[in-house]
Amino acid sequence: MANVRALAAEVLYQVVDKGQSLNTQLPLAANKVHGKDKALLQQICYGVLRYLPTLEHYCQQLLEQPLKGKRRVYQFVLYVGMYQLQYMRVPEHAAVAETVAAVESMRAPGLKGLINAILRTFQRQQEELEASANLIPVCQFNHPGWFIKKLQAAYPDTWQDILHENQQQAPMWLRVNQHHYTTAEYSEMLDEDGIEHSVESAYPDGILLDKPCDVFTLPGFREGACSVQDAAAQMAARLLEPQADELILDACAAPGGKTCHILELADAQVHALDADDQRLERVEQNLKRIGLRAECIHADASTPDTWWDNTPYDRILLDVPCSATGVIRRHPDIKWLRRKTDIDDLATLQASILNNIWPLLKPGGTLIYATCSVLPEENTQQVAKFLANNSDAIHHPLHDNDTPEHPGLQLLPGLSDGFYYAKLTKQQ
């Protein structure tokens, strides 16, 4: 079997230096190991990405010069070793020995001495290195500087809380399929199976597990009794309020959790649209597991003239492409793959999709605009601009301070992920 630490270093190199998605690289590496090693691989990869600036700082202090070119991947071996020594419960001797062994498995025995020496020095100097890192804001918060500044501007009182939550392990939420069981009934089934959890009244279909588990250990999972979906994402279908026999568009639908939830709440005719055909397959897989039917359409939401048949929709869920800055704790690579310039580009795309989808909504119909972002440019500013420019768009407040000038509901990472919702109807 492949060396777990060597695989982790390779994954991290592909993500950080080559701009590859962790969602793509991690499963490929996980196929090369078995059992507990899969969990260890994920823990190391997520951990290094969470603390990358701090680990980079340590290497800058300890290496005479960074490893470059063909040796660059071994810089990530050092990050893997240091992460274990500082943040994991691996015995120090084992962390060093296994990391050095990773170098040998990567066919670079000539670097074993260097890796061993750096990790031993790190052990001796760890306290001083930690102290020096804590003086650097990017290391203190382990987020890119541009993102920290945006949060400080948008959330002057809570920006540090958001950064703290982004560094935590994401909670595992279940959505109970009300076709099968009530939330209370499913909670009793979890109790019978000894799966510890809690029920939160704010989320009528949601159950929060005390700790993540294999989905196939959940009662009735294979038969569609429940799905894994964060509490914030569960709000989409509830805010949409689907009714029986309505024609509903779930635009940008992949991977399909919201599509399934709509159909669990109402016997409606749903069109699930997504521009990514591979991700659209996930929608079909989810529908099949739960035993639901929707028409899956492989098309671009921003160009409805290429796929729309001119039949207006009663309701539209528009979960637009976004920076995903509200789900960093689930996808820590977002911090290093996203760029400051991406935000303006995404805001332009979101405005295009919203403006082009709006004509598809029938008079009196409802549109829910959603993102998994915490940035105002993609959320309140986006919807406020749309309301100002479209006299037939009626704003529906989701809380007491939800106004047309500052519209929508912004959820920040905590009990749920960071999400944004705004509710609009079209004038009759």
Clarify whether 372 is annotated catalytic: yes
**Contact criterion met (CB below 8 Å) for 176 and 227:** no
Return d(Cα 74, Cα 112) in angstroms, integer. Answer: 10
User: According to the annotation, is 362 in a ligand binding site?
Assistant: no
Active-site hit among 139, 226, 296, 372: 372
Query: Is the peptide bond preceding residue 332 cis, with omega within 30 degrees of 0?
Result: no
User: According to the annotation, is 312 in a ligand binding site?
Assistant: no
User: According to the annotation, is 275 in a ligand binding site?
Assistant: no
User: According to the annotation, is 245 in a ligand binding site?
Assistant: no
Return d(Cα 101, Cα 129) in angstroms, integer. Answer: 25
User: According to the annotation, is 232 in a ligand binding site?
Assistant: no
User: According to the annotation, is 257 in a ligand binding site?
Assistant: yes
The runs of H, that is alpha helices, within 256-296 are 257-265, 277-290
Kindly state the DSSP code that residue 394 receives in the 8-state scheme.
E
User: According to the annotation, is 255 in a ligand binding site?
Assistant: yes
**Contact criterion met (CB below 8 Å) for 323 and 342:** yes
Count H helices and E strands in the chain, helices first: 17, 12
Return d(Cα 146, Cα 156) in angstroms, integer. Answer: 15
User: According to the annotation, is 300 in a ligand binding site?
Assistant: yes
Return d(Cα 268, Cα 75) in angstroms, integer. Answer: 53
Return d(Cα 184, Cα 195) in angstroms, integer. Answer: 14
List the structure tokens of 401: 């301070």
User: According to the annotation, is 258 in a ligand binding site?
Assistant: yes
Angstrom distances, CA of residue 154 to CA of 140, 160, 342, 377: 20, 12, 17, 10
Binding residues for S-adenosyl-L-methionine: 252-258, 274, 300, 319
Q: Which residues carry out catalysis? A: 372
Binding residues: 252-258, 274, 300, 319
